[in-house]
Amino acid sequence: MSQAKENDISVFCAQGPSHIPPQASGALSGLSFVFKDLFDVEGFTTGAGNPKWLASHGAATHTSPIITRLLASGAECKGRVQTDELAYSLNGQNIHYGTPVNPKAPDCLPGGSSSGSVVCVANEFVDFSIGTDTGGSVRVPASYCGIYGLRPTLGKIDLSHSFTLSESFDTAGIFARDLKILGEVFELLQSSANDEASTAAKALYLESSLAKFMSPERLEQFVQSCEQANIPLYKTDFLAANGFTFEHLSLLFRTIQGYELVTTHKDWLAAYGDSLDPSILVRVEWSQGISHEEYQEAKQQQAQFTQCLAEHITEMSGLLVLPTTPAGPPKLTMAGEALAAYRTELMGLTSLAGLSGFPQLHIPLPGLAEGPCGVSLLGLADSELSLLATAQQLDNKGNE
């Protein structure tokens, strides 16, 4: 498999750093990583995927504690990598720097906004990478590029000294081809001890209204994995039973995210907003019309949804299963209108973990006719170790 070339500006950021050696020997010695262009490194400028952002900001005075901890544990950093502008897209396209090639489906989108992060792992340039996930920016590209991707519990990994998109949803996430490596990186980076059980779930529950997005082949492969792992799979109707529609959850998420983006970056958007990709600028302009009252109402509904979902998962005594994406990665040639409609469906799927702040782990399913995609496990806050243990039990590639 061809690796990313370090002069490929669709993947790597020209402002650097292009390399940081390990600062000590440790648990991650011998492993390499890249990080998304949202994290600060002292002496270098964070670009947030936009040349005007890069030019209008100075060099960072601190380094992200994520990067510091990885280097102190023996990992080698092989560079800063691209993101969709302001992390406000799930496609992996950037009109300024280009679209990274999806190593598993070259005629398809790689997914974003953690585009460089996912591509460098999928093409085996590095062992793992660091991205961010607000509305799906780790889970979606992991699905499109056929690797593992973890969105941890909100606040589980320290996001200081990094770009803020939406404080209600922003998380740091991890990509890896190997579950064991992903787990080691997560345990190293988590900012608080995890007291939850690290054993596999005794039952899995597939939401009926979301199962429609799984092709018969994808569903059959996952059912077989459950059978081989001796984990029963049940159906559940949480969304319908509680009156949560797919479209409403997507709108609820976008309302909170959009309001927080334009509130946090109001001055910069006023000065440089016209530098954004037109498809992203349209979402910014929509967000600028959200009132404070609409935002407060959305926050109240978010709290209600989170409480209902927590009660449901607790009652099930298991993990929720959902398709990470509606299908395999969209073609690069998909028209803008169709892509916008697809995005609404996609954000409905990603909104469950986003709104609740609960962790979600994407598991790739190989060899599907629809292209790279898979399923996700979603659990209560701080259940990452259970997600990882369950995925290992389901895995049929010998990583148990």
Taking a C-beta distance cutoff of 8 angstroms, is the pair 135, 169 a contact? yes
In the residue annotation, 137 being an active-site residue is answered as yes
Q: Which of 36, 78, 104, 156 is catalytic?
A: 36
> Residue written as tokens 């002496």?
43
Q: Residue 350: name the closest of 282, 222, 254 by CA.
A: 254
Does residue 160 carry a catalytic annotation? no
Which residues, 6 or more positions from 22, have their beta carbon under 8 angstroms from its beta carbon?
29, 71, 74, 75, 76
Q: Residue 33 has which token pair?
A: 């990583």
Residue 39 has, within 13 A of its CA and on its CB side, a CA count of: 28
Active site residue 317: no
Exposed e or buried b per residue across 149-187, where buried means at least 16 C-beta atoms within 10 angstroms of its C-beta: bbbbbbebbbbebbbbbbebbbbbbbbbbbbebbbbbbe
Identify each DSSP E strand in 152-194 by its residue range: 171-176
- Selected catalytic residue, list 73, 113, 115, 117: 113
Closest C-alpha among 141, 380, 87 to residue 260: 87
> What is d(CA 244, CA 75) in angstroms, rounded to the nearest whole number?
43
Token representation of residue 46: 């964070």
Spatial separation of the C-alpha atoms in residues 228 and 238, rounded to whole Å: 26
Residue 41, both tokens: 């490194």
DSSP element (H, E) containing 310: helix 292-316
Catalytic pick among 32, 114, 137, 356:
137
Distances (CA, A) of 237 to 77, 103, 320: 44, 36, 11
Q: Give the whole-angstrom CA distance, residue 29 versus residue 273.
A: 42
Annotated catalytic sites, by residue?
A: 36, 113, 137
